[in-house]
């Protein structure tokens, strides 16, 4: 399911225009991104938690030349931890 299909599904269930739902999804993405960039986290109880995790720099292997070591720089990556209700819904599939 992509963003447009998600918006259509939500619009049908809630009774809003698809354009309104797309705008809400855009704002949701913006708020989550801004929050986790600032070091915070966004928790939707039962669904899950969005956060950012810092990955330290490390030595790796060059895939084009396995005998050569390369330095992989540190990076901050997004993280999602599923909530209990989501996990339970998938278990009882």
How far apart, in whole angstroms, are the C-alpha atoms of residue 45 and residue 48? 6
Verdict on whether the full-model pTM lies above 0.85: no
Compute the Cα dihedral for 59, 76, 79, 6 and give only its sign.
negative
Give tens-digit pLDDT for 46-88.
999 999 999 999 999 999 999 999 999 999 999 999 999 999 9
Domains of the chain plus CATH, in order, are 3-91 (4.10.520.10)
pLDDT band for position 17 (cuts 50, 70, 90): very high
């Amino acid at each position: 399911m992509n963003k447009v299909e998600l918006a259509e599904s939500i619009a049908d269930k809630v009774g809003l225009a698809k354009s309104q739902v797309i705008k809400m999804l855009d704002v949701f993405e913006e708020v989550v991104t801004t929050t986790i960039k600032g070091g915070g986290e966004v928790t939707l109880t039962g669904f899950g938690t969005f956060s950012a995790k810092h990955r330290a720099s490390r030595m790796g292997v060059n895939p084009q030349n396995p005998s050569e070591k390369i330095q992989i720089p540190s990076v901050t990556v997004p993280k999602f931890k599923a909530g209990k209700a989501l996990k339970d819904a998938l278990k009882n599939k």
